[in-house]
């Protein structure tokens, strides 16, 4: 792989970003198999287009943008599980048990349950804000949505989480 004329081992990039990208994709797509497929497509596109990366310091946002585009393409192809009723029981259990977070277990379960009640955009914005700790400007560059749209989506996502915790 060429990056600014130098050879860089793409396997190192995959090792470094595989976990964070997987969990971002998984929180949005919900289903493990879908997340795996989208992650693979993300890395394939990144590998084919790495030469277009102008600033190696922006590798993570660039990869997140590719993952977001792949998520959007996936959602356009087939509906995603958008509620608990549509999600297979083992997927719900797996998501609740494996969510990478430092919040207490009960809140983590509430967040996972609330994620299932969010739109894909709300899941994207919440995941990028909460788990990836990105600001709205960064998220706007990744998602292509306006800052105002992102702020509203994040507010709605937080309200769903608060409601889920209250009902917990």
Query: Domain containing 152 — which CATH number?
Result: 1.20.140.160
pLDDT tens, position by position, 129-162:
998 999 999 999 999 999 999 999 999 999 998 8
Decide which of 103 and 57 is more confident. Answer: 57
Give the structural domain span for 97: 2-167
Instruction: Kindly list the distances between the CA atom of residue 168 and the CA atoms of 3, 43, 86, 107, 160, in Å, as whole numbers in the listed order.
Output: 49, 37, 20, 8, 12
CA atoms within 13 A on the CB side of 67: 29
Please give the tally of structural domains in the chain. 1
Q: Is residue 164's pLDDT more than 90?
A: no
SS3 call for 110: helix
Q: Which two tokens stand for residue 135?
A: 């600001």
- The whole-model pTM stands at 0.75
Stated as kind and residue range, the H or E segment containing 113 is helix 105-115
pLDDT of residue 5: 37
């Amino acid at each position: 792989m060429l990056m600014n004329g130098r050879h860089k081992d793409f396997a190192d990039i995959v090792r470094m970003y595989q976990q964070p990208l997987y969990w971002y994709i998984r929180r949005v797509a919900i289903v493990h198999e879908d997340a795996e497929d989208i992650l693979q497509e993300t890395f394939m596109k990144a590998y084919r287009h790495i030469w277009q990366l102008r600033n190696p310091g922006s590798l993570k946002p660039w990869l997140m943008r590719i993952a977001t585009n792949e998520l959007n393409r996936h959602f356009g192809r087939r509906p995603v599980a958008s509620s608990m009723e549509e999600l297979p029981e083992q997927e719900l259990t797996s998501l609740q048990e494996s969510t990478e977070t430092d919040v207490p277990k009960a809140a983590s379960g509430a967040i996972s349950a609330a994620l299932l009640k969010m739109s894909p955009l709300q899941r994207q914005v919440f995941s990028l804000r909460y788990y990836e700790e990105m600001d709205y400007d960064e998220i706007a560059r990744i998602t292509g949505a306006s800052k105002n749209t992102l702020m509203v989506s994040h507010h709605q996502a937080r309200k769903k989480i608060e409601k889920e915790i209250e009902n917990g």
